[in-house]
């Protein structure tokens, strides 16, 4: 019965994370992550293929995402694949997401950097560069909080 459901990604955020603070106190961050791979096609041309992944981070990870991740941030992420179904225009659709369990920020921390721009990685000493989902075992339970219910809306999907 027991199985393994593991996803490992290294890529860059396509946008700033969207963070929602739910009623129960939990928070969720969602964003898209691009993983690119290069290969040489039959004609010898260099090609890049990019996949976009829908990422969901809960609680502690969401807080860290909110504080430290931005459009362009490069991260290592470990999580699990989940598929939700939802209704839209009377049609059942499916959304596959990666629910994160561990995250490591991979941007270099520029020493002596001055100024501030959209791509600036954390410079503060209090920035953790590694983080885990609060509840380890109940990775299943972690996915339980119903986003749409908590927000009393059903046209408000993460992806």
Partner DNA sequence: TTTT
Binding site for DNA (CB under 7 A): 1, 11-15, 32, 34, 36, 48, 50, 52, 71-72, 74, 108-109, 119, 129
Among 16, 66, 80, 120, binds a copy of itself (CB under 8 A): 80
Piece of the chain touching a copy of itself by CB under 8 A; list 17-25, 61-69, 105-113, 150-158: 105-113
Instruction: Give the contacts of 158 (CB within 8 A, at least 6 positions apart).
Output: 18, 28, 30, 54, 56, 95, 97, 147
How many CB atoms neighbour CB 120 within 10 A?
15
Piece of the chain touching a copy of itself by CB under 8 A; list 19-27, 62-70, 130-138, 149-157: 130-138
Could you tell which of DNA, a copy of itself, none binds residue 132, using a CB distance below 5 to 8 A set by kind? a copy of itself
Residue 152 beta carbon to DNA: minimum distance, rounded to whole angstroms: 27
Collapsing DSSP to helix, strand or coil, 59 comes out as helix
Collapsing DSSP to helix, strand or coil, 140 comes out as helix
DSSP H or E run through 63: helix 59-68
76 belongs to the binding site for a copy of itself (CB under 8 A): yes
The site map against a copy of itself for 56-75 (x = CB under 8 A) is ------------------x-
- Say how far apart CA 119 and CA 29 lie, in whole Å: 18
Residue 23 beta carbon to a copy of itself: minimum distance, rounded to whole angstroms: 17
Closest CA to 70 of 17, 9, 130: 17
């Amino acid at each position: 019965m027991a199985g393994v459901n593991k996803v490992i990604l290294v890529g860059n955020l396509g946008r700033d994370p969207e963070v929602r603070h739910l009623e129960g106190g939990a928070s969720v961050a969602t964003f898209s992550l691009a993983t690119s791979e290069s290969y040489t096609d039959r004609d010898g041309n260099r090609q890049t293929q990019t996949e976009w992944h829908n990422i969901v981070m809960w609680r502690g990870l969401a807080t860290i995402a909110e504080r430290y991740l931005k459009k362009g941030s490069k991260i290592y992420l470990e999580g699990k694949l989940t598929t939700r179904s939802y209704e839209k225009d009377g049609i059942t659709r499916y959304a596959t997401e990666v629910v994160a369990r561990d995250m490591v920020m991979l941007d270099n921390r520029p020493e002596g950097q001055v100024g501030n721009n959209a791509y600036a990685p954390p410079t503060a000493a209090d920035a953790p560069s590694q983080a885990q989902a609060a509840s380890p075992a109940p990775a299943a339970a972690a996915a339980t909080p119903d986003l749409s219910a908590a927000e009393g809306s059903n046209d408000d999907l993460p992806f």
